[in-house]
Amino acid sequence: MNEWDIIIKALRDHGRIMIFGMIIGLIGAFLTITFQKPVYEARMIVAPTERTGVPSLGSILPQGAAETPVLQYFVSRIDAANSSDFTVFETLINSPRLASHLIEKNISILPTHNIPDLTLWMKKNVRMRPVGTTPFREVTLRHTNPDIALQILGTLFQETDMIIRKDTNLKTKRRMTYLKDQLSKTNHMDHKDAIIALLKEQEQISMMVSIDHHFAATPIEPPSITPKIVSPNWKILFPALGLGGAIIGFMLGGLYAAIRRS
């Protein structure tokens, strides 16, 4: 008796219980689709703002001053901060810090007003995915109410951008205070020119922070609801539970036969 003969014999011996298991699985899939609330997905596409694409500060400094170790360090810190605003946006969009900020603002549409619970909910339901090879990102949020999903997604975008704006404003003020102090202590003309260039750049950032517009990320496509529900998906649920029930039935049939033989 070869392997195929053994398989066919097993299917004949346990066929009834496999069919019974498949029926139970299909009934479970039907009940899930009937009683589970449909889950909708809100989506939007965002991109880095033009501000994050400004040239390096080192390129606008005089050659001699750009080679000064102290100024090199300071320039590298500012360049890194400017280029990472969109990265910070990606990190904050479902973070505990954003959850705490939303709860402090007492936003009524939130599913919960407990920081750990809201953080877990955002980690589970909020996703950010790359859009092809572009710098764009697709932000999605799942919820049982499509209208609330749109509102929450829009709120997450706005509040995340606002947090980064406030952080940048605070850092810029500190840098300007430091640079003005260094300018008053410096007698070397090249160093003064370099510090003035840095001050101008910080003043530009300060002006952009004060403009009531998107700061770290800009929406390419506004929030919208996908036309089809994402869960429960009957195309996956019926085959998965039906096949799972049949496999469990086959295993139980084999176990029962082994017990009888023993």
- What tokens does 216 get? 């770290």
Domain boundaries, the chain: 1-36+232-262, 40-231
At residue 126, the pLDDT reads 94
Strand, helix or coil for residue 106: coil
Q: Facing residues of 42 across strands?
A: 141, 225
* Residue 160 amino acid letter: T
At residue 196, the pLDDT reads 83
At residue 240, the pLDDT reads 82
Provide the whole-model pTM: 0.67
Question: How far is the C-alpha of 239 from the C-alpha of 105, rounded, in Å?
Answer: 45
Q: Which one-letter DSSP state was computed for residue 221?
A: E
Question: How far is the C-alpha of 109 from the C-alpha of 90, rounded, in Å?
Answer: 22
Q: Which residue has the higher pLDDT, 65 or 185?
A: 185
Question: At the top level of CATH, which class does the domain 40-231 belong to?
Answer: alpha beta
29-38, 80-89, 114-123: which is most confident: 114-123
Residue ranges with strand state E in 170-234: 217-225
Q: Which residue has the higher pLDDT, 12 or 118?
A: 118
- Summarised one tens digit per residue, pLDDT across range 232-256 is 776 777 788 778 877 787 777 777 6
Cβ contacts of 138 within 8 Å, gap of 6 or more: 43, 44, 45, 128, 129, 130, 131
Q: Which one-letter DSSP state was computed for residue 141?
A: E
Q: What value does the mean pLDDT of the chain take?
A: 79
At residue 191, the pLDDT reads 79
C-beta neighbour count of 5 within 10 angstroms: 9
At residue 56, the pLDDT reads 43
Q: What distance separates the 2 farthest-apart alpha carbons in the chain?
A: 99
- What tokens does 160 get? 């995340």
- Summarised one tens digit per residue, pLDDT across range 94-146 is 999 999 999 999 888 999 999 999 999 999 999 999 988 888 999 999 999 99
How much is the average pLDDT of 47-63?
Answer: 54
Cα separation values, 238 from 10, 22, 94, 233, Å: 24, 10, 32, 9
At residue 173, the pLDDT reads 86
